[in-house]
Amino acid sequence: MNMTNENPSLAYLHNMNQDNRLEWVDNAKGLCMLLVVWVHMLSSIGDPPFWYSSKEYIQAMYMPCFFILSGFFTKDTDQRTFIRKRCGSLLKPFIFTYLVSYAIGWIISTIKPDLLKNGMDFLAPLYSHSFVNGPIWFLLALFTALIIVQSVNKTKLWGG
């Protein structure tokens, strides 16, 4: 069934670029990234009423939207292949970045202890928002979410 012939208004949903990617999905993910930057900028200027309310609405939707779009095209592969692929694309960069940033944080805290006041505890949770590794929480969270979604998709529910 070719939806573009039946409903020309939906043709844009099926337009793929040279790399076989749906452009609207990539554009929506890009918009979510810009919203992350926007919310972080709004957070740094205080909480005037307009900024605060727009920040709250935007913040409630950009990460769930990004997660949904990131899992939109998960292929129906076996669990082992899926996990191996995601380890390479998400977990390896997370571990590398975390270890490097942790080492840098440890060196800085050793040389100048007051510089990193929010703590570089040796057992700090991986999701912590520290000065050095705050932004990389997303890689581990996305990895975890995609593994959960893949597991749920592979589970036969209600006799289906």
Phi/psi of residue 98, nearest 5 degrees: -65, -45
> What are 22's strand-pairing partners?
16
pLDDT value of position 133: 62
Same domain, 99 and 85: yes
Same domain, 36 and 88: no
Last residue of a domain, one of 31, 52, 73: 73
Query: Which pLDDT band, with edges at 50, 70 and 90, does 123 fall under?
Result: very low
Whole-model pTM over 0.85 = no
Same domain, 158 and 81: yes
Same domain, 21 and 47: yes
Residue 2: how many CB atoms within 10 A of its CB?
8
Last residue of a domain, one of 50, 73, 96: 73
Distance of CA 64 to the CA centre of its chain: 9
Q: Domain containing 122: what range?
A: 74-160
Mean pLDDT of 76-83: 86
